[in-house]
Amino acid sequence: MICLETQYFNLNRILLLAIGLWPYKQSNFTRFQFIFLSTILTTSLIFQCTPFISHKCTPDFIAKVLSSASFFALFVIKYNLFGVNIKAVRDLLEQLQLIYNELKDKNEFAIINEYGCSARRCTAALTICGICSLFAFLVAQFWSSILDNILSINVSESHHLPIPMEYFVDQEKYSYWILLHFNVSFCVGATAMVGIGTTLIAYLQHTCGMFKIASYRIKDAMSNNMLQNINLKNKFLIYEGLIWAVDIHRQAMKLSKCLLSSIEPMMFCLIIFGVTSVSLNLYRIFQITSADDISLNNVKELIMPIICATITVLYMFLSNYIGQHVTDHNHDVFVTVYNVRWYIAPLHIQKMILFLLQKESRDFVLNVGLFVVSIEFFATLVKTSVSYFTVIYSTQ
């Protein structure tokens, strides 16, 4: 028997348990943990917007503040909206577990194991990327201090945030507390992005495995041995195989759609703030690099927008890639139906095959509102981000 939690979602479970978002075993402590960490993330975003109150709002300053604030908004949206829908995610994982409990064929177990291992590798790779991003983020904060120590420069120690924030207190006096709040919020947000993102990717990867099983069941039911020796027993086996193929194909579509419908508000908000973040951070990168005198401080300021833009584009790509992956696997089911020797089967079996080729099923895609999640949509998002960046940069 397959146990999703221990076999394929163990790393996702560790990441989400750390921030109180693992769908199972929700206790009073995890609910307190969610409220506490959500408060840290939300207040961090608020303090990134408060400089508009105490500073003169020039176009460059507005772009500087919003470039980081729009990126942190992704953290807040992802964390809070997933927490709100955590029961729906748990129900979907339980439905997936029930479907896997019904598998009996060793080849079907092999297919699920292949896709489960692929999901685990993806989770591990993205976790490593997240750790590297956190390391680069910490280096960006303490760049000056590190250089001063290397070059043996004797200066008074000061701690500055890599982005503009206003706490309305003496920033030097409370610098350690401010740095702690900011770093904790970034670590929680990064963990949420990786943990939630990889969990959703792993879930959709498993639905791709279900589509693959549907293709396998069709091939197995319509094998040459069955079609060349049509008797009552083989007819029954063909019927049974096609029925089971249709059932798991229908359930794969249902689970994919249910997941997207439960997280649709989150995805729609992420699209808006993702495009905004990429545009403004590209503007910040070009703004810094086009300066007449590029100093060490400018190089330090470059790290944050580069990290933000890179992570956002990567997240856009992975989200749309997995959506395209699901669509392609659904298409492969119909390619399988076309390729089997259905034309030599009895007429009543051919009618069942035609049932699989209904137009409603063939056009199955994952939607976020009016948008189709696909590689084409990713290209549209990048094009839109670059277009907005071009407009902003041309007004400089």
At 136, the amino acid letter reads A
Rg (CA), the chain: 26
Tell me the average pLDDT across 51-74: 87
At 188, the amino acid letter reads V
pLDDT at 42: 93
Tell me the average pLDDT across 10-31: 90
Rounded Cα–Cα distance for residues 256 and 254 (Å) = 6
Handedness of CA 173, 186, 310, 391 (dihedral sign): negative
Phi, psi of 368 (to 5 degrees): -120, 95
DSSP string spanning 57-92?
Answer: --HHHHHHHHHHHHHHHHHHHHHHHHHHTHHHHHHH
DSSP 395: T
Q: Which of 190-194, 277-281, 359-363 has the lowest mean pLDDT?
A: 359-363
Q: Which of 76-85, 150-159, 258-267, 338-347 has the lowest mean pLDDT?
A: 150-159
Q: How confident is the model at residue 76 (pLDDT cuts 50, 70, 90)?
A: very high
DSSP 372: E
Structural domain range at position 155: 4-394
Rounded Cα–Cα distance for residues 10 and 67 (Å) = 34
pLDDT at 140: 66
Helix/strand/coil for 368: strand
Exposure on the CB side of residue 234, measured as CA atoms within 13 A: 14
Rounded Cα–Cα distance for residues 342 and 344 (Å) = 6
Overall domain count for the chain: 1
Is the pLDDT assigned to residue 172 strictly greater than 80?
A: no
Q: Model-level pTM?
A: 0.88
Cα distances (angstroms) measured from residue 152 to each of 146, 148, 159: 10, 6, 18
Average pLDDT over the chain, rounded to whole?
A: 84
pLDDT at 156: 44
